[in-house]
Structure 1
Amino acid sequence: MSKSNEIIRIASQKGYTINKAGEIINPKGQTVKGSTRRFKNCVYKTFGISHKGSSRPILVHRFVAYKKFGEVAFEAECIRHLNQNSLDNRPDNIYMGTYKEIYESTRNDIDL
């Protein structure tokens, strides 16, 4: 298992969860502010948890997918934002998919 997937599982075990708006909620019930980071050509929301004396960033959309789909989310080729807005992490906007699906949906938007 990748380190990223392991830390997602740990965050869930520690009591982090999500709300309907796609915001991260800490074990005390407070919304986690997090930050944004650029990965490849997109900007994604991240948050961090401390574990064994260090902090690792977690991509919010991947955490949402884990909370929505469970362990199978770790096996997905990619996690998709259905509306193609990489900052919209509402659970109903997050789905497991393929890079081909992302390419085709982006291409269809350009062709319109």
Structure 2
Amino acid sequence: MSKSNEMIRMASKKGYTINKAGEIINPKGKIVKGSVGKFKNSTYKTFGISHNGISRPILVHRFVAYKKFGEAALEAECIIHLNHNSLDNRPENIDIGTYRDIYIAIIKNIC
């Protein structure tokens, strides 16, 4: 199991959740500010939790997918932003799929 997936599960177990706007809510009911960072060729929102003295950033879209699809999200090849906006983490904008799915969507939009 990857450390990233382990931290996603841990955040969920600790009581972190999401709202309809795709924001992370901490166990006390407050919105987590997090940060925005560049990963590969896109910009994504992240938040962090600490566990056993280890702090690791969690990609918000991956956490939203986990809350929406459960374990299937951790096994999926990739998480897809349906409107192609990597900062829009609303649950209705998040899906799971393959890199081929993304490629086909790009080709359909070009042709």
Alignment TM-score, normalising by the size of structure 1:
0.95
Structure 1 equivalent of residue 108 of structure 2: 108
1:62-73 to 2 correspondences below 5 Å: 62-73=62-73
For residues 1-35 of structure 1, the C-alpha deviation after alignment (integer angstroms, 9 at most, x for no partner) is: 11100000000000000000000000000000000
Q: How many residues align?
A: 111
In the TM superposition, structure 1's runs of 4+ consecutive aligned residues that sit over 3 Å from their partners are none
Match of 2:11 in 1: 11
Deviations 1:50-83 (A, max 9, x none): 1111210000000000000111111111110001
Offset at residue 108 of structure 1 (A)? 2.6
Which sections of structure 1, spanning at least 5 residues, go unmatched? Answer: none
- 2:87 aligns with 87
Under a length normalisation based on structure 2, what TM-score does the superposition of the two structures give? 0.96
Are 2:23 and 1:23 aligned?
Answer: yes
Structure-1 separation of matches of 2:102 and 2:35 = 24
1:45 is matched with which residue? Answer: 45
2:16 and 2:85 map into 1 onto residues whose CA distance is 23
Output the CA distance in 2 between the equivalents of 1:41 and 1:53.
30
The alignment yields a C-alpha RMSD, in angstroms, of: 0.9
Unaligned runs of 5+ in 2: none
Does the residue aligned with 2:84 lie in a helix, a strand or coil? coil
How far apart in 2 are the matches of 1:23 and 1:89? Answer: 7
Distance 1:96 1:22 in 2: 16
SS for the counterpart of 1:72 is helix
